Structure 1
Amino acid sequence: MTSVALPRSVAKLCNHSGLGIGMQLSYSVVDVFTDSCFGGNPLAVVWAPEGLASHLMQKIAHEFNLAETIFLLPPRHDECHVRTRIFTPQTELPFAGHPTVGASFILGRAGRAFGRAITSDVLLEQNIGAVHAELLTECDAVVGGIVSSPEPLAIGPDVDPELIARACNLRPDQIETSRHAPCICTCGNALVFVEVTSEEALSQASPVISEFQQHLPRERAIGVHLYTPSTKEGVDYAVRMFAPMVGITEDPATGASNLSLVGLLTALAPGNTLRTSYRLEQGVQMGRPSQLRGDATKLDGVLSEFRIGGHCVPVAEGTLNIPSSFQ
């Protein structure tokens, strides 16, 4: 069998007599948007050789059964440190914030990827394009990452508040429309953004699958992102995200949708030139509290930059044994 030279024994092709194992891939599990183990949003990060089949990546993501699994592959463009592909248990995504933050954390801790040193910044080649991440460090140790939006914020059409109420098991009067009606926004993944009237309403919400299937298919938006001002000290907004049509009934911490939320709130804020920052909490109802930090800059009425980030905690490392029959 042929050996594949990748970082930290990323992949080995082997012939284990009787086991039928044809490939071994190194992986890490990291909790993203938390500084405590078993909080935040767990993520599988898999080092992969060039040419690993898409259907096999999808099977591996389904096996982990986490919100997302990200694969690290050799870059195709010299300016990037790594190429990535991101999968939910059911589908591939062009971009997602929590895998990008978690992968940047793993890459920063490794210090190298595919022969290139990594210091304070990581450039990841993703299906959406090149994505920039800044490493968060404390006492010279990498503790997390901050991801910049890969695309300008696009604010799309409004969505019927009564439809959203039905889809999220809420009453129509629990949908707040004074700041904006429910609307589809994207900076890489389209979601419906909905302000609700209270933290009580936020806690009460739950996805009604039949309504998502009929009115919110993933071709329209991959999920619904609910938010409301928080009364908790140190938190500006409490948020939840439902995406059952891509295999995520609820997500404990959603980087891409909170990135869009930071952009949306800043775009709607009064003033033509300002810099904002937001402290967001998610995952409380799931028993996986997550803390995200976002910031944005608006210049002459135009949203010029917006970012999302947070801490990460390593949880596990291991090896995936891939049978020869799956290659």
Structure 2
Amino acid sequence: MTLPRTRAFAQVDVFSTLAFHGNPVAVVLDGTGLDEQDMQGLARWTNLSETTFVLPPTTEDADYRLRIFTPGGELPFAGHPTLGSARAWLDAGHTPRRADRIVQECGAGLVIVRRDQDALAFAAPPRVRDGALDEAYLQRLITAFGITREQVLDHQWVDNGPGWAVLRLASAREVLALEPDLSLIPDAMAGAIGAHDDNAGHDFELRTFAPAVGVPEDPACGSMNAGVGQWLISTGTAPTAYRVSQGSRLGRAASIEVTADGDGTVWVGGATTVAIRGTITL
């Protein structure tokens, strides 16, 4: 058993320029010597959508390795923890191998985080599952969301590790009006997206629900935005650069920027602000 010791700790607000209105992530900047039980215990205690642990990489291609935990389990990849952990790592005085990018090793493999002055964006990892939802699962989501089949314009697996599925509705208003009964989909990782017609600066509204890992609604979700971006841009449903608002039903004001390069790489970025710097005994 590892004896508790003092470790560097940060909490980062991700995806909002308005203080304390994004999605926070707790970052333990030295996770060496901690086992899975230790990490899961802290994630359960912080009760944030994710808590991360920075570790030495196992490959020389990466700057660090990251383990990502929700209150209910470990994820191979998650978006806002990737950006928030990169920001905390830089803020703690670390230097990446290349000035313009950070390479994160995680359960999903190597993830590139692009640096453009103070802005950070991660390259969407490949989806491990895509394609339309099967009708039975689609109907479960429709019932849980309290909507009709006619309201669903399209649907898709956008799973890059966590297990995401998404429904596309006609409008942001319909997305914001959802009152899901998550007891009907306790194993789900699902969301809904709809287009804005009255929100200057934002093209879509997204909501994400993750009862499978103990997070009823995520205030701002980078991994789902990544998978949804790959889907919408590839089908021409969205332009190669657009902005998503998220979290308003939770009193947040997240803003996520999704862009695609000429080679098809989708990047997901937004504001990252270190809100808490300190230590934790763990």
Deviation (angstroms), 1:152: 4.9
Question: Unpaired segments of 5 or more residues in structure 2?
Answer: none
Residue 80 of structure 1: how far off its partner (Å): 1.0
Question: Partner of 1:156 in structure 2?
Answer: 131
Is the Cα–Cα contact under 8 Å of residues 275 and 298 in structure 1 kept in the other structure?
Answer: no
**Aligned equivalents of 1:196 and 1:41: distance in 2?**
24
Pair member with larger Rg: 1
1:146 matches 2:121:
yes
Counterpart AA for 1:66: L
**Any conservation in 1 of the 2:207–2:218 contact (CA below 8 Å)?**
yes
Q: Give the AA of the match of 1:183.
A: Q
Classify 1:152/1:163 alpha carbon distance in 2 versus 1 (closer, same or farther; 3 Å): closer
Give the superposition deviation at 1:79: 1.8
Percent of residue pairs bearing the same amino acid type: 28
CA distance in 1, matches of 2:259, 2:229: 7
**Paired residues for 1:298-309 under 5 Å:** 304-309=264-269
SS at match of 1:112: coil
- 1:209 maps to which residue? 182
Q: TM-score, normalised by structure 1?
A: 0.79
Deviation, structure 1 residue 74: 1.1
* Map 1:33-44 → 2, pairs under 5 A: 33-44=15-26
**Counterpart for residue 87 of structure 2:** 105
After TM superposition, list the pairs within 5 Å mapping 1:1-327 onto structure 2.
22-112=4-94, 119-137=99-117, 142=118, 144-152=119-127, 154-160=129-135, 161-173=138-150, 175-177=151-153, 180=154, 182-213=155-186, 217=187, 222-231=188-197, 232-269=199-236, 276-297=240-261, 304-322=264-282
Task: State the 1:119 CA deviation.
Answer: 2.9
- Residue 107 to residue 136, structure 1, CA distance change in 2 (3 Å): farther
> In the superposition, relative to structure 1, how do residues 154 and 305 fare at CA in structure 2: closer, same or farther (>3 Å)?
farther
Query: CA distance change for structure 1 residues 26 and 110 in 2, over 3 Å: closer, same or farther?
Result: closer
AA of the residue aligned to 1:130? L
Q: CA deviation at 1:197?
A: 2.4
Q: 5+ residue gaps in structure 1?
A: 1-12, 14-20, 323-327
**What one-letter code is carried by the residue in structure 2 that aligns with 1:171?**
T
* Aligned-pair CA distance for 1:224: 1.1
Q: In the TM superposition, what whole-angstrom CA distance separates every residue of 1:124-153 from its partner, at most 9, and x where no partner exists?
A: 11011111001242xxxx3x4100022257
Structure with the largest fraction of strand: 1
TM-score by length of structure 2 reads 0.91
Find the aligned partners of 1:198 and 1:164 in 2 and give their Cα distance.
17
RMSD of the alignment, in Å? 2.2
